[in-house]
């Protein structure tokens, strides 16, 4: 599948310093693949829009009136995307020049909902951020039984990490996108993957699509990440009745949690 069918959506909030560092690698990949790039600005006050206009005029800049979190920014960018495939990308990752092609090729399979890149963290010995086992006590408990897999081949995963993944625009919007319940940014990618699996769709890990996560001021990023999780989690608890109501009203075809785990584990058993 040609790579000019994809739009990259990058959320940012007062992240001009991150875009200065990481956007050039995305632009380089874009030149190779003729991609559309959208930066969704969550009401930044650091001159992000002016900087983009001056340095990268080919990038579409969408400014939101309020900070909607990364999920809200991704949703806004997906709605505006001009291509049928949307690649979500954090503003603090570098990409390999050919990271787009494998994602696009994989999404030619109509049974896939999302594909996750291989997200490496050089500062942690190239730890792979793309692969997680879910063991939260209040959601996806059964998915903690998913077996580990070698990282050098494609395999099914519970969810695609929101830092670097691809979806078909129509499927993403039809599923409702990232749930704003989880703003400012905690578990929305887990929830999205769970909803996709419950509808009978699959999520794939793609090791040939490689991005490098290089967090700015790593210790601060980790601390803020933990704070965001705690804040998002307790905000979600306050809205739990609402999210359950929405889940019940949008059930459609549902797959049991145990079936999801079995589907993922089958590939391990078959080698």
Nearest to 219 by CA among 127, 133, 124, 93: 124
Tell me how many degrees the CA angle 151-92-82 measures, rounded to the nearest 5: 90
Secondary structure, 3-state, 76-136: HHHHHCCCCEEEEECCCEEECCCCHHHHHHHCCCCCEEEEEEEEEEHHHCCEECCCCCCCC
CATH number of 3-269: 3.90.550.10
Contacts of 90 (CB under 8 A, 6+ apart): 10, 11, 70, 162, 163, 164, 213
Q: What is the mean pLDDT of residues 261-271?
A: 61
Of the pLDDT bands very low, low, confident and very high (cuts 50, 70, 90), residue 143 is very low
Tell me the β-bridge partners of 115: 166, 204
Instruction: For residue range 216-255, list pLDDT tens digits in order.
Output: 544 344 444 444 444 454 555 555 555 556 555 555 557 7
Give the bridge partners for 168, in sequence order.
Answer: 85
Its pTM stands at 0.81
Q: Assign residue 96 a region: left if phi > 0, alpha if psi is -120 to 50, beta otherwise?
A: beta
Domain ranges of the chain: 3-269
Structure tokens belonging to residue 51: 């900087």
**Quick one: what percent of the chain has pLDDT higher than 70?**
66
Work out the percent of the chain whose per-residue pLDDT is above 90: 50
Distance CA 61, CA 53 (A): 8
Please give the Cα distance from 6 to 22 (Å, whole number): 19
Whether 95 has a pLDDT exceeding 50, the answer reads yes
């Amino acid at each position: 599948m040609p790579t000019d069918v994809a739009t990259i959506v990058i959320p940012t909030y007062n992240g001009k310093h991150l875009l200065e560092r990481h956007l050039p690698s995305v632009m380089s990949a874009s030149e190779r693949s003729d991609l559309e790039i959208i930066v969704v600005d969550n009401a930044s006050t650091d001159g992000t829009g002016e900087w983009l206009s001056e340095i990268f005029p080919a990038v579409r800049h969408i400014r939101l009136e309020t900070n909607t979190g990364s999920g809200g920014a991704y949703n806004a960018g997906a709605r505006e995307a001009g291509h049928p495939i949307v690649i979500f990308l954090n503003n603090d990752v570098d990409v390999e020049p050919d990271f787009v092609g494998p994602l696009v090729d994989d999404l030619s399979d109509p049974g896939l909902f999302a594909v996750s890149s291989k997200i490496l963290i050089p500062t942690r010995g190239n730890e792979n951020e793309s692969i997680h086992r879910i063991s939260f006590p209040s959601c996806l408990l059964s998915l903690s039984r998913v077996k580990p897999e070698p990282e050098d081949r494609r395999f099914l995963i519970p969810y695609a990490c929101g830092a670097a993944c691809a979806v078909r625009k129509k499927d993403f919007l039809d599923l409702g996108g990232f749930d704003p319940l989880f703003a400012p940014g905690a578990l929305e990618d887990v929830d999205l993957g769970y909803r996709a699996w419950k509808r009978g769709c699959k999520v794939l890990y793609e090791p040939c699509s490689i991005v490098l996560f290089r967090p700015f001021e790593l210790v601060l990023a980790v601390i803020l990440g933990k704070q965001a999780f705690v804040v998002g989690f307790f905000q979600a608890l306050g809205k739990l009745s609402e999210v359950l109501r929405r889940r019940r009203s949008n059930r459609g075809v549902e797959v049991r949690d145990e079936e999801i785990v079995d589907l993922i584990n089958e590939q391990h058993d078959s080698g």
